[in-house]
Amino acid sequence: MNLSNKVILPGQTIGIIGGGQLGKMMALSAKAMGFRVVVLDPVEDCPCGQVADEQIVGAYYDLQAIEQLADKSDVITYEFENISAEALEWLTSYAYVPQGTKLLKETQNRVTEKAAIQAAGVELAPYAIIEELEDVHLSLNEIGLPAVLKTATGGYDGKGQLVINHPNDLKKAGQLIDQGTCVLEKWIPFEKEISVIITRNPDGEISVFPVGENIHNNNILHQTIVPARISKTAEEKAVASAEKLAAELHLVGTLAVEMFLTTDEKIYINELAPRPHNSGHYSIEACETSQFEQHIRAVANWPLASTELLKPVVMVNILGQHQEALLEKIPELKDWKIHLYGKQEAKVNRKMGHVTLLRDTVEEAIKEAEDSKIWK
């Protein structure tokens, strides 16, 4: 269906594949802008379903459910990358999906993702493709220790990964390789992990959010600090890398670019996510336009809006083990912006929500979060 540069207007319907918190926050922005929203998700009363006009309950690969979504939607987007690329491919023939399928497919697999990053001319850690255990031994001779072995598909929040510091660690490598193709990456001794959220509409207009400094606990994002505590040179390099990727990958919509920053101010791309991202949640209160509104603007082909940072900010994730302490302390939490996603069960390490603290300095916000003892 050739509908490039089509503008979607208020009153029309945006279809969202995926009903988690990202879909919910997309839907809230879309509703504020006057759109109707229909979501496809297999879980009844999912976070996005709680705020959408309608939810289709069905699997992401269920073509009957996908057809229903196409019938009801004027434009379709998605909230996470592990959806059925085949179903999305079918959709592009019968509905308007301005993001297409190419970038989604590339980012679903670390092998194709890394090839796309390399082809864009942006630096990433040296790596090798691993099909069997013998490949690890051979590749380590070239890559060296330490290294990280990752499954090519399905890994997130540190799942499907093995850090190899010593040859003895290889005893566990077979478990990952048994799951399928892996990649072996050279360990980058980074000073900071940072991310850039970048958005592009079908007309080619690009906007970039302020660089976020990310702190992880147990491979799960804990805090995003903005402005990132990095030099102006490093900031410019990070933004330039994201802009190059967006142009070379023909981005439509939102792309999160996760990066490593070394002490000598080199930047290596770690991962891509073709959607709004946890590390961009701070933008809801701290920027003139949130990543979710900007994403809706992009898929609707509206002009993109200002992403200016209004105040220093720290975003902190609420995992399942933190939710009870947060709820108990709500009467004491002055000027905390609290977002809970409406998930049914608070499991350990499950992302249940986030809080945003806008303060005069990021140091003040970090200390206040620590002093609350919610994340003890």
Q: What are phi and psi of 291, to 5 degrees?
A: -65, -25
pLDDT at residue 4 in the model:
55
- Among candidate residues 367, 274, 360, the one with its CA nearest the CA of residue 316: 367
pLDDT of residue 3 exceeding 50, the answer is no
Residues facing residue 194 across a β-bridge = 213, 259
From the candidate CATH numbers 3.30.470.20, 2.60.420.10, 3.90.79.10, 1.10.540.10, the one assigned to the domain spanning 192-371: 3.30.470.20
Residues facing residue 55 across a β-bridge = 39
Q: By the 8 A CB rule, do 258 and 272 touch?
A: yes
From the candidate CATH numbers 3.30.420.480, 3.30.1490.20, 2.60.40.420, 3.40.1110.10, the one assigned to the domain spanning 126-186: 3.30.1490.20
* Helix ranges, 98-231 (H): 102-107, 110-119, 133-143, 173-177
Domain ranges, ordered by start, for the chain: 13-97, 126-186, 192-371
% of the chain exceeding 70 in pLDDT? 98
Locate tokens 């082809």: which residue?
119
pLDDT at residue 315 in the model:
99
pLDDT-derived band at 5, boundaries 50, 70, 90: confident
127-185: pLDDT as tens digits: 999 999 999 999 999 999 999 999 998 766 667 899 999 988 888 899 899 999 999 99
The average confidence (pLDDT) of the chain is 95
6-34: pLDDT as tens digits: 999 999 999 999 999 999 999 999 999 99
Mean pLDDT for the stretch of residues 322-332: 97
**From start to end of the chain, where are the E strands?**
13-17, 36-41, 54-57, 75-78, 127-130, 147-151, 161-164, 182-186, 192-200, 206-208, 212-217, 220-226, 253-261, 267-273, 313-319, 336-340, 351-358
Q: Which amino acid is at 292?
A: F
Query: Which fold, 13-97?
Result: Rossmann fold (3.40.50)
213-261: pLDDT as tens digits: 999 999 899 999 999 999 999 999 999 999 999 999 999 999 999 999 9
Q: Look up the pTM and report it.
A: 0.95
Residues facing residue 161 across a β-bridge = 150
pLDDT of residue 2 exceeding 50, the answer is no
pLDDT of residue 84 exceeding 90, the answer is no
pLDDT of residue 316 exceeding 90, the answer is yes
